[in-house]
A and B are shown apart, each in its own frame.
Chain A
């Protein structure tokens, strides 16, 4: 553990960006402006950041595991008279965001309960603590935009619009699940909501997301369709050392694909600390190396994430190319429900627990009189009901039937080949009853 503390010194930034620190740079990377942060020990480190005139963004790039300070941003927007215009979020948006995060949290807590009761099995990776990243990005997307995730995908699925019932049934392995019980916790897919998975291999989703973004560009250029959909790829800090990540940063920037690479840096890859695994722990720095902006944002604050997401998504939609966003976040539970979580420091966990994104948002909403305590509590109980209903639905749903075993392997069922009678196997009536020999 000592090594983690030692390296923190180099990257311990102190100050907030002030407008007089901003120095314009040529925009060859698509930046409008670049801010220079002065660090505690006088090192000038360039940040690739967005800022558009009057709205400087608050970013910290401390990846230390010792101390992090949460600072709520109060942006001064262009005056429009009413006091609400100073806020980052309207009441409606605030409640929507709050509800989504509470749904994520409550759902994951229920998953843990169900797992220990034996209703769920295999590998289950929970998202507690990281809700701000999922909600912050996905709630700004349209239905046609695509999201690609990893094995920690329950909350991404919920934010993208897959119903809690469908996700819970899938986890229980029932046929009413979003993938009819054939995918499981790590493989959530939804064509309707454009959730392209759900991948167990880290880094696997990144090229797939890049391909989805490639399609959007192809549709515009070759098929001449109006398509300004974007793709968001979520992955973790461990993935950022994987080859596929760098391959896709290169190609996305090379071909200016409409994709946002969102790193959920929760500092731990199972038991491997990010600082022990990475030569240059600032992941946002790897963006400019490939020709795209790299941003670091406090991933425990949904409002900050939203602001960054708006810029990145807008950039991609306008055809200006990809962005790499590193969200500093934390998972309150272990890597999976099988992980005893012994390596992480109690102090570190407590520090991040104090920065719980849901509590922070609630505080912001109440302090700025966006909604009353009662309204928020009503949301809480509504979500509890939704999650309990999902569990009941999943419990009551049937398990997959025997015929389902051989279905969906191929789209073209002739893919099972020729049977001993010389005809295609799929034409054998026993095949669909699940009793044929294959």
Chain B
């Protein structure tokens, strides 16, 4: 314990110098990612999706979009705005309410060489089509020994929104990521979104692209290279959003924003947190996470989904397998509450991780004397 106290004491000086190093590159508390020269431009995640789809459809005539309300309604969340006018109803296809049907149609089209982008209005509706995502998309390359490839993208908003109730709020990252043959991507910023969606559309394997409805309206700064129409990010590599040396926080999608804010708060209290934006849940970049944990010796995983058998459970097991000796504290999992999402606003806030939860957990892994909050 004395070792930890000593570290706490020296942290004051160290963290101050770290803060000074980072300070000039912060624009505001919200925009915490800065590793390239910025053009001064900001785009929302919605614009990032729209431009990425537009550019990929322009580049390859085999790419088409299919889903409910993607055409005349301009997209249920206005993601595919303008695409119907630009590409016509043969390439931006409004479907009846038939998830199983049109997901399967997408798979059949992919078998025959087209590159469908199938939109689910939310990933909760993908459960009606999950047989096609798993059985006819993910497993087909294997079952056919490479004869039939499925270059399909299933995309849509995932996870909790605001007050939409239990049937519209589940996070499906863990479910899809447990299935071999699928790639599962979870972008956070506009840069992530553009790069990963382009990579997903160009990828010859089935990709589940989990967006977040509450991030659609958020703006992020983007550099010129991000706006280039050939900008792709590698699938399977995480991004270190913020360097740190005391505790590693892994997160994906909206939770990256929360983790970054928590890191800010922790920095003031002398804990330097390294925030990893996972970007890709399958394949999981365990190499980066392990490297980070070997540096910081403590790990917190943050996710919005249900805790049991979640992404955090997988990361925790993986770290224990590969970096056990490096851990100075047990791995902490922060996840949504183990209940169906309630409707009442105050209960919903309690059911989803908040920034304070991440801060408390970080303090727990750093100062083991603080008792745990009541377990569920």
Contact = CB atoms under 8 A, between A and B. Distances in A.
B239 to A, nearest CB: 13
A357 interface: no
Contact of A189 (B61, B140, B280): B140
Interface string A61-80: 00000000000000000000
Interface in A155-196: 178-184, 187, 189-192, 196
A200 to B, nearest CB: 8
B90 A207 contact: no
Given A215-B114, A410-B181, A210 B290 contact: no
A335 B102 CA distance: 29
A418 B290 CA distance: 11
B105 A214 contact: yes
A419 B322 CA distance: 11
B136 interface: yes
Interface residues of A, number: 59
Interface in A193-224: 196-201, 204, 206-216, 218, 221-223
B287 A251 contact: no
Contacts, number: 186
Contacts of A5: none
B51 to A, nearest CB: 21
16 contacts: A180-B145, A189-B145, A197-B148, A207-B102, A210-B101, A218-B109, A248-B101, A248-B104, A250-B98, A251-B98, A408-B141, A412-B204, A415-B235, A417-B282, A418-B236, A422-B287
B113 A244 contact: no
B286 A417 contact: yes
A407 interface: yes
B103 to A, nearest CB: 7
A418 B61 contact: no
B105 A210 contact: yes
Nearest to B290: A420
Given A183-B145, A196-B111, A198-B143, A244 B64 contact: no
Nearest to B203: A412
Interface of A: 146, 148, 178-184, 187, 189-192, 196-201, 204, 206-216, 218, 221-223, 243-244, 247-248, 250-251, 254, 407-412, 414-422, 424
A178 B143 CA distance: 10
Interface of B: 61-62, 64, 90-91, 95-96, 98, 100-114, 131-132, 135-136, 140-149, 151, 180-181, 183, 203-205, 234-237, 280, 282-288, 290-291, 322
B290 to A, nearest CB: 6
Contact of A197 (B102, B144, B205): B144
A170 B37 CA distance: 56
Nearest to B112: A215
Contact of A417 (B102, B107, B141, B285): B285
A415 B109 contact: no
A201 B135 contact: yes
Contacts of A190: 147
A45 to B, nearest CB: 29
B62 A223 contact: yes
A147 B113 CA distance: 16
Contacts of B288: 418, 422
A290 B283 CA distance: 42
Contacts of B151: 411
A222 B116 CA distance: 14
Nearest to B207: A415
Contacts of B90: 218, 221-222
Given A196-B111, A221-B90, A418-B283, A207 B146 contact: no
B286 A418 contact: yes
Contact of A251 (B105, B147, B322): B105
Contacts of A191: 144, 147-148
Contacts of B135: 199-201, 204
Contacts of B111: 196, 208, 211-212
Given A182-B143, A183-B143, A409 B180 contact: yes
Contacts of A221: 90
Nearest to A418: B287
